[in-house]
Amino acid sequence: MDKDAVIEKVRAHTKDNKIACKQALRIAKEENISSKDLGEILNELKIKVAHCQLGCFP
């Protein structure tokens, strides 16, 4: 995993320190990392997941 590339993609799709769940999952798939690993990166960057497909994060 190229963490810098993941961070760059995340920041490109982040608005008001939030990223849509669907977009976050797409980035994880594109970068071939687990959603858990991406979640850890989001936590480090203090970016919240929004519009959760499971209804966990409104």
Domain chopping of the chain, boundaries? 3-50
Residue 58, pLDDT above cutoff 70: no
Residues 6+ apart with CB under 8 A from 34: 28
Residues 6+ apart with CB under 8 A from 51: 20, 21, 22, 57, 58
Tens-place pLDDT, residues 3-51: 999 999 999 999 999 999 999 999 999 999 999 999 999 999 999 998 8
Q: What is the pLDDT of residue 25?
A: 93
Q: What is the pLDDT of residue 52?
A: 75
Q: What is the pLDDT of residue 46?
A: 97
Q: How far is CA 11 from the centre of its chain?
A: 9
Q: Please name the amino acid found at residue 2.
A: D
The kind and range of the H/E element at 18 are: strand 18-20
Choose between 56 and 22: higher pLDDT: 22
Q: What is the pLDDT of residue 55?
A: 61
